[in-house]
Amino acid sequence: MAWIQRKTTRMKPYRGRVAPTPTGLLHLGHAQTFRIAHQRARQAGGKLVYRTEDLDPQRCKTEFADAALEDLKWLGIDWDEGPDCGGEYAPYIQSQRIERYRELLETLKTLGLVYPCRCSRKDVIEAVTAPHETGEEPLYPGTCRPALGQAATFEADTAARVNWRFRVPSAEPVVFEDGRLGQQSFTAGRDFGDFVFWRHDDVPSYQLAVVADDHDMGITEVVRGEDLLKCTARQLLIYRALGWEAPAFHHCPLVTDEDGERLAKRHDSLSLKAMREAGLTPEMIRAKFIE
């Protein structure tokens, strides 16, 4: 049976969000997405939340978090709640919300919707029977997946350094309406497999954290890049598992470099900081690259 996201009939005040990850300097792709998120929130007469998504302890740096705040303010983007100004749903920094994510992990353990997995990424890639998701991680072949209703065949504890994977419903279509791209459909078990929900180094996954935060912070529309469309399908399954209403989604076009490659944080010459230091103004950047 297909799982289809239904539009809510209840009118809620608009709440959007910008959520940079401080693993490098923000570039034009971030500027475009966050500018669209800002515009949609203001046009709706709603509120915009700033959230720092700093769950990767090895790559996230304080200087990048500070730079993101500075760059977006310089670009003319403002927000109503965030780590610099507080708000009703603080903290707005993911590394300060770990216990909330752990609580949800335990909930899904109880429901039997996550299971421990000893497989490393290398193990999955080398699995002969594992097909690969296009351009992403390999499709998990189910090596450690217990039968529904059965416990794992090994003891899962901290010492075992296991990942916890979310059990996706096999061959079930996940359908949602995107605000820009229209109806989107992915099939669980074919387009994506059982995904990591909690990492072996005791860090929650992106999928878990953003669902928890967007729900807890009352976000009504998620604006982000179209490279995350498949993540939306995964996250809708988490919303369903927790019995939560999902927000609306609007996926923005990606900004590419002169070779047609999607911008990444390694493109330092296209970072907002580099452009500012080169003498460009916010108006010039918006006119030439964004608007």
Query: In the predicted model, is pLDDT for residue 101 greater than 60?
Result: yes
Q: What span, in angstroms and rounded, lies between the C-alpha atoms of 33 and 283?
A: 16
- Residue (of 193, 249, 191) closest to 225 by Cα position: 249
For the annotated catalytic residues, the residue numbers are: 265
Fold adopted by 3-290 = Rossmann fold (3.40.50)
Q: Which conformational region is residue 87 in: left (phi greater than 0), alpha (psi within -120 to 50 degrees), or beta?
A: left
In this structure, the number of other CB atoms found within 10 A of the CB of residue 105 comes to: 17
The full DSSP string for 39-53 is: HHHHHTT-EEEE-B-
The full DSSP string for 155-198 is: ---GGGT-EEEE-PPTT-EEEEEETTTEEEEEEBTTTB-SEEEE
Cα separations (Å) of 275 from 29, 31, 93?
Answer: 13, 12, 27
Residue that wins the pLDDT comparison between 287 and 24 = 24
The answer to whether the pTM exceeds 0.75 is: yes
- pLDDT (tens digit per residue) in 102-135: 999 999 999 999 999 999 888 888 874 555 555 5
Question: Contact 189/168 with Cβ under 8 angstroms?
Answer: yes
Query: In the predicted model, is pLDDT for residue 230 greater than 90?
Result: yes
Query: Who's near 125: CB < 8 A, 6+ residues apart?
Result: 138
